[in-house]
A and B are shown apart, each in its own frame.
Chain A
Amino acid sequence: QVQLQESGPGLVKPSETLSLTCTVSGGSITDYSWSWIRQPPGKGLEWIGYFYYSEYSKYNPSLTSRVTISGDTSRNQFSLKLRSVTAADTAVYFCARGSGSGFYYYMDVWGKGTTVTVSS
Chain B
Amino acid sequence: SSELTQDPAVSVALGQTVRITCQGDTLRNYFATWYQQRPGQAPLLVIYGRNNRPSGIPDRFSGSSSGNTASLTITGAQAEDEADYYCYSRDSSYNHWVFGGGTKLTVL
Contact = CB atoms under 8 A, between A and B. Distances in A.
Interface residues of B, number: 30
A59 B45 CA distance: 21
Main secondary structure of the interface of B (DSSP, over half): loop
Interface in B13-48: 29-33, 35, 37, 41-45, 48
A103 B48 CA distance: 10
Interface in A74-120: 94, 100-101, 103-108, 110-113
Nearest to A112: B42
B99 A46 contact: yes
Contacts of A59: 96
B96 A106 contact: no
A101 B41 CA distance: 27
Contact of A47 (B30, B93, B98): B98
A12 B25 CA distance: 38
A26 interface: no
Contact of A44 (B29, B42, B101): B101
Interface residues of A, number: 22
Given A61-B93, A108-B45, A47 B31 contact: no
Given A58-B96, A94-B43, A103 B86 contact: no
| Residue among B30, B91, B97 facing the most chain A CB atoms (10 A cut-off) | B97
A49 to B, nearest CB: 8
A104 B54 CA distance: 14
Given A44-B102, A45-B102, A47-B99, A106 B43 contact: no
A15 interface: no
A110 B42 contact: yes
B81 to A, nearest CB: 18
B100 to A, nearest CB: 8
A80 to B, nearest CB: 16
B49 A101 contact: yes
Contacts of A103: 29-31, 49
Contact of A94 (B31, B42, B102): B42
10 contacts: A44-B84, A44-B86, A60-B96, A61-B96, A101-B49, A103-B29, A104-B32, A105-B88, A106-B45, A110-B44
